[in-house]
Amino acid sequence: MKHPCKQWILSLMTKAAELKTQACAEIDARRDDIIAIGESILRNPETGFREVKTEQLVARTLNDLHLETQTGLAITGVKAKIAGGAVGPTLALIGELDSLRIPDHPFADTETGAAHACGHNAQIAGMLGAAMGLVTSNICSQLGGAIAFIAVPAEELIEVGYRMDLREQNHIEFLTGKAEFIRRGHFDDVDMALMCHTKNDDTASHVANSSNGAVIKKIRFLGKASHAGARPQAGINALNAANLAMTAIALLRETFYDEDTIRIHPIITHGGDAVSAVPAEVVVETFVRGRTLESIVDANNKVDRAVRGAALAIGATAEIETTAGYLPQTNNRTMSELWGQNVKSLYGEDQFYIEDHRTGSTDMGDLGHIMPVTHPYIFGATGNGHGNDYLMTDKEAVYINMAKLLAMTTIDLLCDEGCQAQKILAGQRPKLSKSEYLEFNRNLMKTTRYTPDGLTHE
């Protein structure tokens, strides 16, 4: 005779397996629809906070599932929610609406240069495919808690000038979509979140335990114009100040701890106005990335010090605009392992791994500071991410299998009245409360002016 406890566990496993089979069958039945969504978004790319056509497509698809849908969240975001059959945690399945700007990408918009060179079109298709699998089959009524299907704008930190204009006009406060969603309360009724990204290596899927966060800096060096041939001594060379600052930043490298994985990568976006004139204004933009909040703050302060010293040495003025970008990400191990088990069931035991750390950044890190999250990757792309050759070549993987894995992991988390999700929530305290998160980001955002007299103006 089997032990009653073992019988109960086996019955739960059997129920979850049956629900997964049901969801996957529904996703297979909607295969053409899911692929069509991903391909339509691919051919209609829109950058952050401009994703109007994509927003409409997402809303139309969720409405067709008879879900009450909110639109216009943080300008272009979309959200729909469905309750399960019992009270419990709410899990968000997330997709990102925005594209990059890669004008020479084969699917770039000929007018804007926007292109899906990071696979966000697949994320949206996968999220909506999971919704089809879970909602159409009435699986949700057999789960605990609730599921929120969320399409978030502006994950990519590009077109910073445009976003700063939106901020100046009080349309947004923060420059990324998830940060704005948090600020506006669109995650207030969510307890945990899951999303998936495409990748280009040979293993079916993987997830990193953590990834870097970042702040954004725009630095204006202001000098004095003069004829570069006849009277350079009468000018103050802003380009020299910028070059000296970047050299000083590079020489700071040995002050950073290896384990903090600091990355600072400046570019000059305006280098002067005429070859014959001493540059009077030079603009440098950079990210300052790091593994922890503390290491980012430390590196950010060192960059400011280097800029100030360089400007003072040349006699220029430096104006530093610092903006919150991404918080470091930490993925919940249990959520990652549940995802991995489902990957193995689809692809095989050797087709999933967990790596320690990634030095890229995502605003999923912001969400991970206030709730448990995981952000795995799935194979199906070729080329270099953010490059003109990044393409979704395995549509079955990036659209259909992503949808299946999102649905299957949702079932694992919310089956048995959300038992697994509740265990995760009980075992992980948020790193920051919502108010602490907002305070931290706001404290990062400032403009400081260093003048040749050595004074600091904020």
Q: Max CA-CA distance within the chain?
A: 100
Of the candidates 297, 374, 362, 390, the one whose C-alpha atom is nearest the C-alpha of residue 334 is 374
CATH, domain 4-210+329-427, list 3.90.1560.10, 3.40.50.1820, 3.40.50.970, 3.40.630.10: 3.40.630.10
For residue 455, the model assigns a pLDDT of 74
Q: Indicate the domain borders of the chain.
A: 4-210+329-427, 213-326+443-457
CA distance 432 to 159: 28
Give phi and psi for 132, each to the nearest 5: -60, -45
State the pLDDT at residue 4.
Answer: 40
Query: Chunked in runs of 10, what are the mean pLDDT values of the chain (458 residues)?
Result: 46 82 98 98 98 99 98 99 96 98 98 97 99 94 97 96 95 97 98 97 94 97 97 98 98 97 97 97 98 97 98 98 96 98 97 95 96 98 96 97 98 95 96 97 95 84
What does the angle CA 212 – CA 214 – CA 219 come to, to the nearest 5 degrees?
A: 150
- The three-point CA angle 153-407-185 to 5° equals 35
Q: Which residues are registered as beta bridge partners of 457?
A: 449
Distance CA 450, CA 400 (A): 54
- Residue 252 has a pLDDT of 97
Paired tokens of 295: 């290491």
Determine the topology of domain 213-326+443-457 in CATH.
Alpha-Beta Plaits (3.30.70)
Contact 277, 417 (CB under 8 A): no
Residue for token digits 């879900």? 67
Closest CA to 376 of 205, 150, 127, 147: 205
Name the DSSP letter for residue 396: I
- Residues 113 and 147: their CA atoms lie apart, in Å, by 35
Nearest alpha-carbon partner for 352 in 372, 371, 376, 317: 376
What per-residue confidence (pLDDT) applies to 283?
A: 98
